[in-house]
């Protein structure tokens, strides 16, 4: 594609002259020719743009984790590390720093790739950098730059733990069911997942509680991505865009299972780790008080594979699946994903303009509809 063709095509898109059907001609796209595609639809592009925003948000939060607790090298933007925080994370697994680094690199690559593909097809990429105005941690090792996300006032939903273990309930079939929290006190109040300043580095139980909070937050974030990619893939028309979602999405699932395993090490202590009102219970004993329908198998820490559950209709046999993945955005979709991130405190301090921007991207992604028959 020549520069003149590329520029002209982008200008044409900005006029709004193409809408509703094949937003991008795709005639010069070798991928489109290979797959017999007419190119991405307006809805496909809306999905890619929303995912680009999500990946930039993930890159921002993972960069903060890596600066203080990961491996700082040339592969990802990094600070200089915090040994007490890194040691606390590595109490959960000796390879935590490497895993944090690699997760960070993955999210940066996802954002860069999706934006590059958007530009390649003549669609506008997504850049949220003007909203990177939130403060950094003041702990030694953190870069003092503006952030998109706030990791210091989190309310972490840990219901993903039981959602993946339940043999009877599936969020798609039971959208109003409230799955039990693995760590109930993490789902109330506001908790730091990184040291806010150097005075958070002690006493030992305090910095360990911060690291444990991070471990559960890691899995919460990546479980959302595991569900989001296949949910939005159900709305995609163009084979190339579908290929992108079905190729990036499984990496989010790989991340989730890794962090699911590591979070188990945060609640496998006796007596349970306590830091003020925050308690990380030993999940390898039956829940006290008992929870109707949920027993030890729904909590024990070495069960990190998704248990078979009802899917599509209860008349079919249970099957191990990603949950939730629904064609109904009333159950789960882009807007629900943003609402969940907002409720977690991840955007505490962000501007109204930021929420309007991200909310609009989510709304447009949810409005996308898969088109089975396309006009030439």
Q: Where are the beta strands (DSSP E) in 219-275?
A: 273-275
Decide if 276 is inside a domain. yes
- Quick one: which of 313, 316, 327 has its CA closest to 368? 327
- Position 35 pLDDT exceeds 60: no
Q: State which of 253-257, 264-268, 322-326 shows the largest mean pLDDT.
A: 253-257
Instruction: List, in sequence order, every residue forming a beta bridge with 275; answer none if it has no partner.
Output: 278
Token pair for residue 170? 């599936």
Q: What is the mean pLDDT of the chain?
A: 90
Decide if 63 is inside a domain. yes
Lowest-confidence segment of 133-142, 164-173, 282-291, 301-310 by average pLDDT: 282-291
pLDDT band at 326 (very low <50, low <70, confident <90, very high): confident
Decide if 157 is inside a domain. yes
Q: At what angle do helices 42-69 and 239-264 cross, to 10 degrees?
A: 30
The confidence score (pLDDT) of residue 53 equals 98
Dihedral, CA of residue 225, residue 363, residue 191 and residue 226, to nearest 10: -10
**Cis peptide leading into 271, omega within 30 of 0?**
yes
- Position 359 pLDDT exceeds 90: yes
Query: To which residue do tokens 């937003």 refer?
Result: 23
Instruction: For residues 287 and 295, give the distance between their C-alpha atoms in angstroms, rounded to a whole number.
Output: 7
Please report, for residues 134, 168, 187, the alpha-carbon distance to residue 298 in angstroms, rounded to integers and kept in the order given: 38, 11, 18
Decide if 22 is inside a domain. yes
Domain count within the chain: 1
Are 125 and 52 a contacting pair, CB within 8 Å? yes
Q: What is the pLDDT of residues 54-79, one digit of tens each?
A: 999 999 999 999 999 999 999 998 89
Instruction: For residues 81 and 21, give the distance between their C-alpha atoms in angstroms, rounded to a whole number.
Output: 49
Decide if 36 is inside a domain. yes
Domain boundaries, position 342 = 3-367
Token pair for residue 187? 């789902």
Decide if 372 is inside a domain. no
CA 267 from centre of chain: 22
Decide if 37 is inside a domain. yes
């Amino acid at each position: 594609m020549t520069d003149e063709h590329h520029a002209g095509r982008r200008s044409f898109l900005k006029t709004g002259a193409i809408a509703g059907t094949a937003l991008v001609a795709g005639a010069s796209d070798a991928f489109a020719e290979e797959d017999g595609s007419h190119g991405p639809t307006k809805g496909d592009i809306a999905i890619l743009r929303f995912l680009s925003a999500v990946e930039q948000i993930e890159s921002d939060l993972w960069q903060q984790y890596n600066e203080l607790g990961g491996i700082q090298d040339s592969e990802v933007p990094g600070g200089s590390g915090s040994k007490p925080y890194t040691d606390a994370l590595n109490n959960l697994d000796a390879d935590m720093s490497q895993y944090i680094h690699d997760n960070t690199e993955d999210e940066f690559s996802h954002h860069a790739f999706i934006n590059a593909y958007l530009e390649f097809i003549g669609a506008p990429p997504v850049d949220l950098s003007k909203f990177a105005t939130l403060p950094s941690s003041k702990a030694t090792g953190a870069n003092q730059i503006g952030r998109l996300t706030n990791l210091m006032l989190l309310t972490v939903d840990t219901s993903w733990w039981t959602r993946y273990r339940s043999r009877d309930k599936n969020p798609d079939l039971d959208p109003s069911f409230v799955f039990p929290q693995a760590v109930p006190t993490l789902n109330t109040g506001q908790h730091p997942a990184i040291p806010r300043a150097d005075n958070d580095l002690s006493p030992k139980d305090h910095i360990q509680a911060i690291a444990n909070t991070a471990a559960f937050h890691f899995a919460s974030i990546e479980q959302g991505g595991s569900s989001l990619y296949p949910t939005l893939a159900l709305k995609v028309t163009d084979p190339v865009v579908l290929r992108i979602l079905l190729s990036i999405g499984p990496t989010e699932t790989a991340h989730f299972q890794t962090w699911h395993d590591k979070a188990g090490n945060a609640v496998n202590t006796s007596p349970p780790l306590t830091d003020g009102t925050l308690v990380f219970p030993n999940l390898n004993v039956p829940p006290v008080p008992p929870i109707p329908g949920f027993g030890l198998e729904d909590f024990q820490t070495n069960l990190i594979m998704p248990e078979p559950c009802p899917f599509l209709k209860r008349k079919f046999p249970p099957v191990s699946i990603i949950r939730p993945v629904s064609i109904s955005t009333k159950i789960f979709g882009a807007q629900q994903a943003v609402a969940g991130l907002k409720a977690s405190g991840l955007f505490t301090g962000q501007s109204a303009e930021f929420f309007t921007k991200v909310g609009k991207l989510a709304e447009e992604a949810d409005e996308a509809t898969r088109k089975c028959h396309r006009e030439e």
